[in-house]
């Protein structure tokens, strides 16, 4: 450890690939892609994103996480050399870094309204950072509803995917 707050994401990435390989072994790589996507989103992505609300990643680690999810969409065998953004959009799946941002915003929104003064204090300390993340998606307050936040994150992705 070098004294920074950055974490090693490689165990989560390894677990993601192991779970994904199990899914493709059972479902079949080309037999039912949508079932594989659903199972991946349900079982593999949560392992990959465990505790993402508090991540501080190096660019190389963020790249590894992004590549892991993108590779799982390459089971469609159509876009190995291309960005799978259109496939993600078609399947209703946010790119992993959008999902991380959404999780972080919603996590700190819960802190902001928690009954514990300690958690509310932590939320105040992190407010500037979280609001800068929210601003990427076009909203500037955490008082918005969860559905509003999710809708704005999705719209930002959809605009870039089309």
The pLDDT value given to residue 123: 85
pLDDT tens for the chain, residues 1 to 162 = 455 567 788 899 999 999 999 988 888 766 777 888 889 999 999 999 998 888 877 778 888 999 999 888 877 666 556 678 888 898 899 999 999 999 999 999 888 888 999 988 988 888 888 999 999 999 888 888 999 999 999 999 999 987
The pLDDT value given to residue 1: 44
The pLDDT value given to residue 29: 60
d(CA 95, CA 37): 13
**Longest Cα pair distance anywhere in the chain, in angstroms?**
52
Q: Are 19 and 47 in contact (CB under 8 A)?
A: yes
Residue among 69, 34, 72, 73 nearest 49 (CA): 69
Ordered by start, the domain boundaries in the chain are 1-82, 94-162
d(CA 112, CA 137): 19
Q: Are 56 and 6 in contact (CB under 8 A)?
A: yes
Q: How far, rounded to the nearest angstrom, does the alpha carbon of residue 27 sit from its chain's CA centroid?
A: 24
The pLDDT value given to residue 46: 94
Q: Which DSSP string do the residues of 61-86 spell out, in sequence order?
A: HHHHHHHHHHHHHGGGSS-TTS-THH
């Amino acid at each position: 450890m070098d004294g920074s707050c950055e974490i090693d994401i490689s165990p989560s990435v390894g677990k993601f690939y192991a779970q994904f390989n199990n899914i493709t072994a059972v479902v079949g790589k080309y037999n039912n892609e949508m079932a594989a996507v659903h199972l991946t989103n349900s079982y593999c992505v949560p392992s990959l994103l465990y505790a993402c609300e508090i991540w501080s990643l190096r660019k190389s680690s963020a790249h590894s996480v992004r590549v892991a999810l993108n590779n799982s969409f390459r089971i469609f065998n159509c876009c190995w050399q291309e960005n799978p953004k259109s496939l993600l959009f078609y399947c209703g799946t946010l790119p992993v870094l959008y999902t991380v941002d959404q999780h972080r915003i919603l996590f700190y929104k819960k802190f902001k309204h928690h009954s514990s003064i300690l958690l509310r204090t932590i939320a105040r300390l992190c407010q500037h950072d979280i609001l800068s993340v929210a601003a990427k998606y076009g909203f500037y307050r955490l008082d918005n509803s969860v559905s509003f936040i999710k809708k704005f994150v999705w719209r930002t992705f959809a605009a870039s995917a089309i």
